[in-house]
Chains A and B, each alone.
Chain A
Amino acid sequence: MTVEKSNQQDRCVGDQGERARWEAIARAAADLQSEGEGEDRRSELLAFRLADESYAIPVEQVREIVRMRPITPVPRVPKEVIGVVSLRGEIVEVVDLRIRLGLASNRPVRHTRIIVLHGDSGKVTGLLVDEVTKVLRVSEDDLRPTASSESDVVHALYRRGAEFISLMDINRVLEL
């Protein structure tokens, strides 16, 4: 249900609006990086959607967000690594987060995005997600550690109104 709703909203906004939104997110991400530590220990999270679940990762780990592009499959790798893409000449592995979290894999749709993470020494990685939704400003007090049994890749929960967003532990996600 939620999927369709957001699709419709977007259709209304149109491509122009969507681009503006992207630019806003990118700017927000860049601002945060230059800002450094805030006064009241606020951090910014990039929120995205997988199936009908909301997740987020710290914005400073994100290098860029790109649209879906042709993916070249790579043999002999775990099934989560669906292949490599070329980013302006750089060849980067893409991890399908749906498969990584044990969800059913999905055909790419209009909102499918690859979140490209910064990586030290050859570890730049792309994460395939259903949709990038927003940048959240949260204070660290709002983050609650999850019960240990919940998931091996989520290390905190953030409550936003009635909605829960799971903060992902990227290092755990990339332990393949």
Chain B
Amino acid sequence: MTRKNDPSRSSKVHREFLAEAEEILERLRNDWADFEDQKHAGGEIDPVLINGLFRSAHSLKGLSGMFGIDGITDLSHHLEDLLDSLRLGRLSTNSPQAELIGGVVRLFGTVMSNLGDESEDVHMDEAIRELIGRLDLATASEVEEEESVLPCLLLDSTLMRALTEYEEHRLLENRRSQKNILLVEVAFEILSFDEGLSEISGSIREVGEVISTLPSPGAAADSQICFVLLVASDLDVPGMIGHIDFPQATVTAVPEEGGVSPLAANPVAMSPAASPAVASDEPQTEESTIIAASPKAPASSVEATAAEASAVVTQEVSDAKHPDSEERSAQGKDSPEFTSLRSVSDTVRVDIRKLNDLMNLVGELVMHRGSIGRTVRLLSNDPATARHGEDLGKVHKDLSRKLKDLQSSVLDLRLVPLRQILDKLSRVVRRLRREEDKDVALELHGVDTELDKLMVEELIDPLVHLVRNSFDHGIESVEERSAAGKPAQGRICIDAFQRGNHVVIQVSDDGRGIDPEQVCAKAEGMGIIQPGVELSEREILDLVFHPGLSTCTEVTGTSGRGVGMDVVRENIKEMGGIVTLESKRGEGTITSITLPVTLAIIQSLIVGVADQSYAIPLNAVMETLLIDRNEIQRSEGHELLNLRGEPLLLRRLADEFSLERSPDGEQVYVVVIGLGESRIGLIIDLLQGQQDTVLKPIQGPIREVRGISGATEIAEHGTVLVLDVAAIVEDSFRRRDRR
């Protein structure tokens, strides 16, 4: 178990688990409290409540399973079973077994508050085992009395067959509590039946329960659709007709076999009368059946029995759940009852949109700071106001510092560890291993590296794809591997680490690597490259990202269809990141994804062209140069610069965006931009400094503008467009190659 080896990791896992589990526990507690209230009030338990408890138990099971907290998974699984029995009426809500729910809920609280405390593990495990034993007993002693009541209702057999187990149970429950069972038949115009149906259902719910709604064939006209609503209510037929006040509806009572006593155990009617009679004739034979509507016992005595029985069980449960309670109080700890009420984790869950709003607000504050800065300069430059200017300047400086802190704190809120998705990849590999019968180990490093929440979500698909690629195409068969002198077990490794303002995620394998010849042959075959053209190693690897090209010759279920690497690159690009490939034949492949730590703030270089300002993401800027005008050389219609012996293709931003081109001065600014190996020099008029910028999408009918990836707001410049460097570089090369 990993949590034993690495306490820091385990406590972090627990914190994350608790952050979500506590909400579920809170719901369970509330629902259970309502449950008890309803029971003490002597009334029926609202089926909605049991369903709610059931759902909570189910969520908790899923959550704890994901985090590998086995005790809670087991316990919630058994709780789920118990609740399912209650829900379907196999067990009465009045039965002593139902009281176990409270015990389980309390034990959840105790276990959660002791998570990570290894000295408590043993006690917790014991308590869980003990309670699970009781739950097993409880669900094993289910009451089988469905048939004892149903047959005495003379329901149409087709209708009867259409009922789900749950609906059947509700029918029984209502029957048992002396409700009138009615059939409401009503026809609606097909075009508007949903409105009519919800209206009549709503009206019925005021005075009873709609057990089931079924379409029925008896429509009067072609344009109509007829429904039968199976209803339980205190009202009788005339009462119901009066209440719903629906002229088109007919209400009939469901006739009963033998007329008066609905609970008369007479198993004739619809279903083939075989065995079931026995159970209801002698309900007292099994202890657990006493409460579940023993047909002959008068209601009051049933209740008395229930109260007694449940009192006993409660006692037992509360004893059982703290086998260590004495020891604990000896240690001076809070009583478990008390701790379980307190919140164990101090985590708040926040909608990411709220964080975005906060981020926007901070951005606006930064803009205001900019205008204060300008005022400070104005005041300071005028001798009459210089003193005030100085004072304001100090305040401005303080404000700037605090704003910066605020900005980074808000940013920090968005960051989550990568573990969430890396763990998912382990599951993917496990599944692939089963399906494909290949022995591959997955290693994860740097799972605590943090990244913007929005990006983490977007990363799942690309990473799954890369891992599948490694699994399918990279790792060879065992025979191949041993022939190549490699260990039989293949290895896929995911490394995540932070490098400056970026996070790098590498997926590497020790497989066969990418075969350059095979890639070229395929690309030629598809007409992507001309035959006989010499390509650099990098250019060949770049072909893998071409839509439609996949190196695997056969198509497998998961990959090999040739849609993939291009999608991966597209997805990563949308997040402002890049994907690069390194591969050595026979040794393996490394795919690196480089992403900015957050989508929210990127460092940008602000440049000016023709009275406009543009932002260039700094991660795409290699360097900025100030060159003499006559250093620009012309060749075949495009401009070049000799940059340390290498030709650098130049492109004027004014031309790129069809802006007015200002005449070159003696010297011109060149910003060298690019991603990976392809780079160009962008000629601009002015350098206007670096800024933290918040990249925002453009809304409107056009939105997708080639060369623009979004916009940002900067104090001095207002709204500024952000360049899509990859597109501009790509277009520049394409333009050159066309000539």
Q: Which residues does A use to contact B, with CB under 8 Å?
A: 70, 72-78, 81, 84-86, 88-95, 119, 122-126, 174-176
Contacts and interface: CB of A to CB of B under 8 A. Distances in A.
A70 B719 CA distance: 8
A93 B703 contact: yes
Contacts of B698: 74, 84, 91-93
Most chain B CB neighbours (cut-off 10 Å) among A76, A78, A176: A76
B703 A72 contact: no
A91 B711 contact: yes
A116 to B, nearest CB: 10
B657 A174 contact: no
Q: What 3 pairs between A and B have smallest CB-CB spacing?
A: A93-B700, A75-B657, A89-B360
Contact of A74 (B360, B656, B697, B721): B721
A91 B698 CA distance: 5
B696 A73 contact: no
B551 to A, nearest CB: 36
Contacts of A88: 360, 364
A53 B696 CA distance: 36
A122 B360 contact: no
Contacts of B360: 88-89
Given A70-B718, A86-B719, A91-B719, A75 B707 contact: yes
Contacts of B363: 89
Given A75-B708, A81-B700, A94-B700, 12 more contacts: A72-B612, A74-B698, A76-B706, A84-B700, A85-B719, A86-B711, A89-B364, A90-B699, A91-B710, A93-B701, A123-B701, A124-B700
Contacts of A75: 656-659, 705, 707-708
Contacts of A119: 699-700
Nearest to B612: A73
Interface string B637-670: 0000000000000000000111100000000000
A75 B718 CA distance: 17
Contact of A93 (B656, B702, B710, B713): B702
A97 to B, nearest CB: 13
Contacts of B699: 90-93, 119, 122-125
Nearest to A72: B719
Interface in B659-694: 659
A126 B656 CA distance: 26
Contacts of A126: 700
> What size tier do the contact residues of chain B reach?
20 to 34
A124 B701 CA distance: 8
Contacts of A73: 612
Interface string B709-739: 0110100001111000000000000000000
A74 B612 CA distance: 10
Nearest to A94: B700
A125 B711 contact: no
B703 A122 contact: yes
Contacts of B696: 89-91
Most chain A CB neighbours (cut-off 10 Å) among B363, B656, B706, B718: B718
B708 A81 contact: no
A109 to B, nearest CB: 21
Given A72-B720, A89-B696, A91-B719, A77 B702 contact: yes
B700 to A, nearest CB: 3
Contacts of A74: 698, 702, 705, 708, 721
A165 to B, nearest CB: 24
21 contacts: A70-B718, A70-B719, A73-B612, A74-B702, A75-B656, A75-B657, A81-B700, A81-B702, A85-B719, A86-B718, A91-B699, A92-B699, A92-B700, A93-B698, A93-B700, A94-B700, A122-B697, A122-B699, A123-B703, A125-B699, A125-B701
B440 to A, nearest CB: 40
B268 to A, nearest CB: 54
Nearest to A70: B718
A54 to B, nearest CB: 24
A76 to B, nearest CB: 5
Nearest to B703: A122
Contacts of B705: 74-77
Contacts of B710: 91
A95 to B, nearest CB: 7
Given A88-B360, A89-B363, A91-B719, A72 B711 contact: yes
Contacts of A125: 699-701
B653 to A, nearest CB: 10
